[in-house]
Amino acid sequence: MTTDLAPLELGPSDIRGRVAELHGIRAAAENGPSAKATEAQHAKGKLTARERIELLVDPGSFNEVEQFRRHRATGFGLEEKKPYTDGVVTGWGTVDGRTVFVYAHDFRIFGGALGEAHATKIHKIMDMAISAGAPLVSLNDGAGARIQEGVSALAGYGGIFQRNTRASGVIPQISVMLGPCAGGAAYSPALTDFVFMVRETSQMFITGPDVVKAVTGEEITQNGLGGADVHAETSGVAHFAYDDEQTCIAEVRYLLSLLPQNNRENPPYGATADPADRRCEALLDLVPVDGSRPYDMGKVLEELVDDGEYLEVHERWARNIICALARLDGQAVGIVANQPQVLAGVLDIEASEKAARFVQMCDAFNIPIVTLLDVPGFLPGVDQEHGGIIRHGAKLLYAYCNATVPRISLILRKAYGGAYIVMDSQSIGADLTFAWPTNEIAVMGAEGAANVIFRRQIADAEDPEAMRARMVKEYKSELMHPYYAAERGLVDDVIDPADTRQALIRSLAMLRTKHAELPSRKHGNPPQ
């Protein structure tokens, strides 16, 4: 049965006939243009729009909106082809019993391209999501603007962008890329909170390979230009990348379980059998006392959080910092942690941007922030300075200073220089600061500090190396011992590493009723 139906001249005269007619039209809309089109979609390794929605929402919970909508455009043969849905399925359902709004492009109809009616349906479901205060998930598989409809299609994108911006920080917005996304269409996902991609079948770029070749002479494939791995590892556009649609959509459901419905609610509680007072003895062996020795901060997170489970955001981009969502005693938390295994855990341009956006997201959606520090400073270098490390580092500083959710920082080992201040130190508003007995808080490392402070004494000594070693030891004993910051009130407590989970959970419980307000203003002017 085709969806390209001509208007019915005369319907049945009785109610049963009318109901049968309704079911026939609905079946046509739900089946799509043809079995051949569905086969072609499956042959590409892609599901249909409705199959994707079935994976996303709880069984039987989807309620479709404007299923019978058709375009009114003429010219270029459009008047002969007017399928129901106009290439996008919109509606709401539940995920783990909580309402979620969704729209899904149907690539079988006009290649999922956006026309005026198509855009109007999306505008409506976005408005409904904002009004209802529930997350919005877009399942993207479209060829961009419908060229036959001209500027009307472009205006449709403008309406989507405007609503993305209005919903920002109000409801969670998740973009799932399941096919091509080119040109201006790529800006809507970039405005949302999270972007998921599927390898081989999804791409995002402003100008495609043909245009790139025509303008620059460079030859590149679609995946090489804007595939999932490129955006997950190089550009940072994608937060998550998976091998298949089923896994991808399952992870979207998991992410939703960690997020609140809107900015007026707290994230849902997740029951756990992991004891709140569990000691983490393994931490004593995981983290070396020697600050120059690397270790995997991910292993530390596994020891601390409920059941060792966490969802890392931007896992493969800016890997010198970890941003993750997890639970502590059932309460959702955002974790920002230096990763000593990569670039010694330094802050650079990309790490600063990654962490800043994550902190802003947590603050917008009432997710407490736990920061784990082991940072030797900002990455030095001409490229970093010329690339604007000052400006980008300030983004992270601004995000922390602006955050009003509960904030707890923990210093495991090194915390040097400006990076210590930026990583949610007490001086910029952390509610509580803990440290392990291995902590070293200082302007810089002892060796560098000794070379600056005692330069003359070292140069004049008969044995400069012996003098340098002596001065380094003296500096450490005077200014870098574990209790120096605690003695001055910059650390609230020095704790046994094995008690870290218990200390964090008790502190979060105390801070659960925290209330803080920012000065009245239209909005801030964060560094760009």
**Which of the residues are catalytic?**
183-184, 418-419
User: Residue type for 278, please?
Assistant: R
Cβ-contact 152, 72 below 8 angstroms: no
**Bridge partners, residue 331, by sequence:** 328
DSSP 227-264: BHHHIIIII---SEEESSHHHHHHHHHHHHHTS-SSTT
User: Residue type for 262, please?
Assistant: N
**Bridge partners, residue 53, by sequence:** none
Element holding 203 (H helix, E strand): strand 203-205
User: Residue type for 332, please?
Assistant: A
Give the whole-angstrom CA distance, residue 407 versus residue 333: 10
Cβ-contact 370, 408 below 8 angstroms: yes
User: Residue type for 244, please?
Assistant: D
Return the exposure string of 246-256: e unless at least 16 CB atoms fall within 10 Å of the residue's CB, then b: eebbeebbebb
Sign of CA dihedral 145, 149, 154, 155: negative
Cβ-contact 113, 146 below 8 angstroms: yes
Residue 17 corresponds to which tokens in the numbers above? 């006939």
Per DSSP, 520 falls in state: S
> How far out from the chain centre does Cα 499 lie?
30
Give the whole-angstrom CA distance, residue 357 versus residue 193: 9
Query: What is the SS3 assignment for 513?
Result: coil
DSSP 119-131: HHHHHHHHHHHHH
Give the whole-angstrom CA distance, residue 328 versus residue 372: 14
- Residue 351 CB neighbour total at 10 angstroms: 31
Phi, psi of 266 (to 5 degrees): -95, 155
